[in-house]
Amino acid sequence: MKPMQDIQLEMVGAVAVVRLCRPAKRNALSDALVAGLRDVFANLPSEARAAVIDGEGDHFCAGLDLSELKERDAAEGVHHSRSWHAALDFVQHGPVPVIAALHGAVVGGGLELASACHIRVADATTFFALPEGTRGIFVGGGGSVRIPKLIGVARMTDMMLTGRVYDAEAGERIGLAQYLVGAGESFTKAMDLAQRIATNAPLTNYALMHALPRIAEQSADHGFFTEALISSIAQSAPEAKARVQAFLDGKAAKVQKDAKAG
């Protein structure tokens, strides 16, 4: 385990476990913690094939550490926000898929961080909120771009205007999480998913992280062309050819209904 300021990195096989370590502050995001996230994901060990973000204690992340909120002019505010954008871009657009193990508060900047991950697992204690609107501020960590892609502009507007809080079940239903598990089980489920993802062909994982979101935002004509390019590149990789041949030879498992998939 590599200790850093307010954050820890541990390799569990091919999975990088990144843990927020400010439990007394409900893992609220300080500038130091955001910088730590940036540094960790910019320098993941070469053996990492997937990552899990977890929060120490009872909460994943309760948002911006308001004790650090200070007087800034407009230019300083823009640069501060952009520093958060750069950090969370390393999570979303880094080398490996990232799974968030959610529990307790996933609020404000915590939801912005979760939305930068590729898969979100919520346990029964999880609750989601965007209180910035009721505090006279606005999201600044990329939430206005990422969160509407998960739940739509109307729902995000409602959350910010009214301070609405979604519990775990409702959050999963509207798209804030893809998986819902029992209390205390989100990390175990996230690790199971990460270990499964880590066995995929790295180039396929990379295409899913980097190409699929861009294709979804392109016009149909451009998207089809991009898909053709990425598909041809992925299937030309030696590992892809070996996997397809293994399937044809009856050496690879066929798709089965997985009762635990939800």
Residues belonging to the active site: 112, 132
Q: Which long-range contacts (CB under 8 A, 24 or more apart) does 148-152 make?
A: 149/115, 150/115, 150/175, 150/176, 151/175, 151/176
Note the residue count of the chain: 262
To the nearest 10°, report the CA torsion of 125, 129, 135, 137. Answer: 130
SS3 149: helix
Tokens linked to 30: 């300080």
C-beta atoms surrounding 85 within 10 Å: 14
The amino acid sitting at 173 is R
Are the beta carbons of 129 and 108 closer than 8 angstroms? yes
To the nearest 10°, report the CA torsion of 239, 242, 247, 248. Answer: 150
